Structure 1
Amino acid sequence: MENPIYFASFNMLELKPEEMVRQVEDHGFDGVEILADGNHKLDQENVGVFQEIRNDMSLSVHAPFEGVNLASLNDEVWEESIRKTKKAIIGASKINADITTIHPGHLTSVTTHFPDRAWRRSIRSFRRLSDIALEHNTNIAIENMPKMEHLFCKHPSEIEGFIETVGRPNLKFTFDIGHANTNDNIQGFLEKPENIHHVHIHDNKGDYDSHLEIGDGNIDFQKTLRKLSKFNGPIVIEGRNLEEGEKSKQKIMDINS
């Protein structure tokens, strides 16, 4: 497989959008995944910047998650979470991004006593957001989460059941390999590679979502990428910095050559 390779990093949020994209392009990446928050939020000004860039670099979007909880039973928190995510989806449509990846929401000290209600609230959120995305001719994707007790959608059965219950054709799946490794279920997700629409890649040692350079953790990327051989979408390296990202990119290319 010859997949386009994108880069994303929280550590680039302090840069202006045009500078962030320039640096990613200078390191030889095919595209960039925008974390639509802070300096990179998809407001009118930044949408204009990314529209100009779109001719030179492919783009995908990660919806904001700081202060966002799409499973919240607090109506004010929930409505604000919907508002911020909706803004990212509409912005993604305007810049012709490949897809917008969204976290499923999480339990709180209160909703840990009502997990079924929180789960249903998340389902409701994604139905609403999928419909918004459809109105704007774009797709969204739910992402599998790392091993943390309060997070939803850590396992293949959860992801599959969630998407089936939402019941919207434009809700896809972003497979995060590093997150899956913390739950020891990479191979479980790879049993149905046809369900995967978008890929996040980074390494860890199974105990923590550390976003290491590929090769510095314990993930068998030879085996993993071989099982993704029919996947032709973008692979997004979620790295700590561009230098490690570039090394990871080369390792992916070597494995796939």
Structure 2
Amino acid sequence: ILKESLRQITENIEKANTYNAEAVCIHPGHYSPLSIHFKEKAHTVHIQSLKKLTRKAEECNVSLGIENMPYFPILCARTPEEVKKILSEVDSDSLGFTFDVGHANITGNVHQFLTLKEYITTVHLHDNHGDQDAHRALGEGTVPLDVIKGLTKKKLIIEVNMYPDALKSLKVLKTLF
């Protein structure tokens, strides 16, 4: 699975370069039923994999953004501390942070993620009630919208399921700026 995942992400980095895209968002991975019992080893493999990917990103003049994940025990990068540790250990200018406010709302640490503001390259915007990754329109859940105000210089991406929700979210964004 690892080999194929790396192949696919590498291919996406190359395609991003072909299309002059600036960034590729990466979900940071998860523990398998086996690796969850060997978290240190799994973490080491994860960091080695990200280092390979950042080298490819540098070659292709593309940046990578590691995305924070919602709460689920097998997922990595659910807290600011976990994201910071990954960024520090990979230590590449090609790797930044994709801040997903909806995911942070589920883990209950939206404001704490602002401690990583200097690493944030992209922000994924959607709303929920803190219990599931619903990808609702902004304003239809409990995501604290004040957090978005401080991120106006970042790339903002509305990540909702339905086109009308994108329009609603855009209206909410316009009231914030």
**Short-chain TM bin:** over 0.9
Q: Which has the higher contact order (CA 8 A, sep 6+)?
A: 1
Flag the structure with larger Rg. 1
**In the alignment, is residue 136 of structure 1 matched against residue 60 of structure 2?**
yes
Aligned to 1:86: 10
3-state SS, counterpart of residue 208 of structure 1 = coil
Asked whether the 8 Å contact 1:211–1:240 carries over to 2, the reply is yes
3-state SS, counterpart of residue 86 of structure 1 = helix
Question: CA offset at residue 196 of structure 1?
Answer: 0.9
One-letter identity of the residue aligned with 1:233: K
1:191 & 1:84 partners in 2: Cα distance?
31
**In the alignment, is residue 226 of structure 1 matched against residue 149 of structure 2?**
yes
Aligned to 1:59: none
CA deviation map 1:25-70 (0-9, x unaligned): xxxxxxxxxxxxxxxxxxxxxxxxxxxxxxxxxxxxxxxxxxxxxx
Asked whether the 8 Å contact 1:193–1:227 carries over to 2, the reply is no
Which aligned runs of 4 or more in structure 1 are off by greater than 6 angstroms? Answer: none
Question: CA offset at residue 193 of structure 1?
Answer: 1.8
What root-mean-square deviation, in Å, do the aligned CA atoms of Structure 1 and Structure 2 show? 1.0
Equivalent position to 2:83, from 153, 159, 163: 159
Count the aligned residue pairs.
Answer: 177
Normalised by the size of structure 1, how large is the TM-score? Answer: 0.67
Structure 2 residue runs without a partner (length 5+): none
Normalised by the size of structure 2, how large is the TM-score? Answer: 0.96
Structure 1 residue runs without a partner (length 5+): 1-76
Aligned to 2:174: 253
**In the alignment, is residue 237 of structure 1 matched against residue 158 of structure 2?**
yes
| Percent of matched pairs sharing the same residue | 34
CA deviation map 1:78-98 (0-9, x unaligned): 111100000000000111112
One-letter identity of the residue aligned with 1:194: E
1:238 & 1:95 partners in 2: Cα distance?
21
